[in-house]
């Protein structure tokens, strides 16, 4: 008998058998397993969705920047030491055009008029809109596009017609070409202007979006324009933007170069994209909290599961299962819950990114790093959360477990 006993070897489970044993809990307690995995899924979905939406937005900005061009420089009036505005000289566009790397120069000019939906609107309610004169080549220089109607031409620039920026059209309630708006101002006789066209939004030049544009001859003759440039737009050789930016002020106004405002609008778009990193970091921190809560949920489920399954643990121990096998069973169960939650979270997060990007008209970008790291993070959280319950189950005495069952 002793020889027979000494010939016995400890029971061993193959990896596939161990996996089957680990699936007992999720298969028999489906609702509890699903709720536990849901916490992990929400955390991973938040990580994927936040990073994906941020990446999609940045890609949209970069695509717009590539189309609009990063070689645009704007030159406008600045202020003197007393903070009084100093207008640009009328010769500024010509002088700036003489800079060798400058490829295209165009301007807008100020007027004394304001634009209203009709002649019944009180003069003070301007809706923060301006009326600017525009050269015929302005649209090409800014690489703008029309949403409706057409742009000014040689005949239209002398007529009472206007092209509205996107924001101006929305504030005035104008939806299509052919409608009329009212223009008047101090020393300017009121007159109806037909809407010739409506522009699409242009991130590089928001001042155009909130303006009503008329031809230069019409503005000078009827709207109080005097030919002084309000803003000069320069298209520059892409490799010489910084050099032109450095000399533009002195070239535009040699007598007072410090009173000239020179900017590169594309820098603002890049800064806008970079500032999103701060918000992304904050939301990722919240997603980390969601992962922590999901881990606690898994740990809680596993602890309760160990208490409910004491009879099973005691029976398996009595039949020869070792402590390591019992611990592996519960640890595999926790890891599977984390893995299922991670995969579901990636799917939910990617779906949110594609849905939001489609609604906004952006290119959908799901960061591969986060999509790949999501399940790995979930498995790690599940492993940590299931470690204590697994060890607790493994240390149960067979007699105590069977007695408590």
Asked if residue 235 and residue 292 are part of one domain, the reply reads no
**H helix runs in 9-137, sequence order:** 15-22, 24-28, 30-68, 92-97
Asked if residue 103 and residue 117 are part of one domain, the reply reads no
Asked if residue 191 and residue 138 are part of one domain, the reply reads yes
Asked if residue 170 and residue 312 are part of one domain, the reply reads no
User: Minimal CA–CA distance to 118: which of 204, 183, 62?
Assistant: 183
User: Of 207, 240, 263, which residue constitutes the final position of a domain?
Assistant: 263
What domain range includes position 341? 16-65+272-404
Asked if residue 391 and residue 276 are part of one domain, the reply reads yes
Asked if residue 93 and residue 179 are part of one domain, the reply reads no
Asked if residue 84 and residue 46 are part of one domain, the reply reads no
pTM: 0.60
Asked if residue 210 and residue 298 are part of one domain, the reply reads no
Asked if residue 88 and residue 235 are part of one domain, the reply reads yes
Q: Which DSSP state fits 156?
A: G
Rounded CA-CA distance 241/220 in Å is: 32
Q: Residue with structure tokens 């952006």?
A: 362
Residue 231 has what pLDDT?
Answer: 94
Asked if residue 256 and residue 186 are part of one domain, the reply reads no
Residue 213 has what pLDDT?
Answer: 97
In the chain, which stretches have pLDDT less than 50? 1, 3, 5
Contact 224, 184 (CB under 8 A): no
8 domain residue, yes or no = no
Asked if residue 220 and residue 137 are part of one domain, the reply reads yes
User: Of 243, 263, 283, which residue constitutes the final position of a domain?
Assistant: 263
237 domain residue, yes or no = yes
Residue 232 has what pLDDT?
Answer: 96
286 domain residue, yes or no = yes
Q: What angle do CA 379, 381, 387 make, to 5 degrees?
A: 95
Mean pLDDT for all residues in the chain: 83
**H helix runs in 240-264, sequence order:** 241-252
Our count of domains for the chain comes to 3
143 domain residue, yes or no = yes
Asked if residue 280 and residue 252 are part of one domain, the reply reads no
CB atoms near residue 385 (< 10 Å): 29
Residue 276 has what pLDDT?
Answer: 54
5 domain residue, yes or no = no
């Amino acid at each position: 008998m002793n020889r027979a006993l000494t010939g016995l070897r400890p029971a061993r489970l193959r990896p596939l058998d161990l996996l089957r044993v680990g699936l007992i809990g999720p298969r028999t307690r489906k609702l509890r397993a699903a709720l536990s995995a849901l916490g992990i899924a929400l955390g991973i979905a938040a990580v994927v969705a936040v990073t994906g939406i941020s990446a999609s937005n940045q890609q949209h900005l970069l695509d717009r920047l590539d189309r609009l061009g990063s070689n645009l420089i704007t030159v406008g009036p600045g202020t003197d030491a007393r903070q009084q505005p100093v207008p640009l000289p009328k010769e500024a566009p010509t002088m700036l055009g003489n800079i060798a790397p400058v490829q295209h120069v165009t301007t807008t000019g100020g007027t004394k008029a304001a634009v209203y939906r009709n002649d019944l609107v009180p003069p003070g309610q301007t809706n923060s809109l301006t009326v600017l004169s525009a050269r015929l080549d302005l649209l090409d220089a800014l690489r703008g596009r029309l949403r409706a109607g057409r742009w000014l031409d040689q005949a239209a620039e002398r007529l009472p017609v206007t092209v509205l920026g996107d924001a101006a059209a929305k504030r005035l309630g104008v939806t299509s070409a052919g409608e009329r708006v009212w223009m008047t101002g101090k020393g300017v006789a009121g007159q109806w202007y037909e809407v010739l066209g409506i522009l699409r939004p242009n991130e590089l030049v928001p001042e155009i979006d909130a303006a009503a544009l008329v031809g230069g001859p019409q503005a000078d003759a009827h709207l109080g324009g005097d030919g002084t440039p309000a803003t000069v737009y320069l298209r520059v050789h892409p490799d010489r933007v910084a050099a032109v930016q450095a000399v533009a002020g002195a070239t535009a106004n040699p007598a007072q170069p410090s009173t000239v405002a020179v900017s590169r609008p594309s820098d603002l778009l890049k800064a806008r994209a970079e500032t999103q990193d701060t918000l992304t970091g904050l939301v990722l921190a919240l997603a980390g909290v969601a992962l922590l809560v999901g881990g606690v949920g898994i740990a809680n489920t596993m602890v309760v599961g160990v208490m409910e399954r004491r009879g099973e643990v005691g029976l398996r121990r009595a039949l020869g299962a070792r402590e390591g096998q019992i611990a592996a069973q519960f640890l595999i169960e926790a890891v599977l819950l984390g893995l299922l939650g991670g995969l579901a979270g990636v799917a939910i997060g990617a779906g949110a990114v594609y849905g939001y990007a489609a609604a906004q008209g952006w290119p959908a970008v799901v960061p591969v790093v986060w999509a790949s790291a999501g399940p790995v993070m979930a498995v790690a959280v599940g492993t940590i959360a299931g470690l204590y319950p697994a060890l607790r189950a493994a240390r149960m005495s067979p007699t105590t477990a069977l007695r408590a069952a």
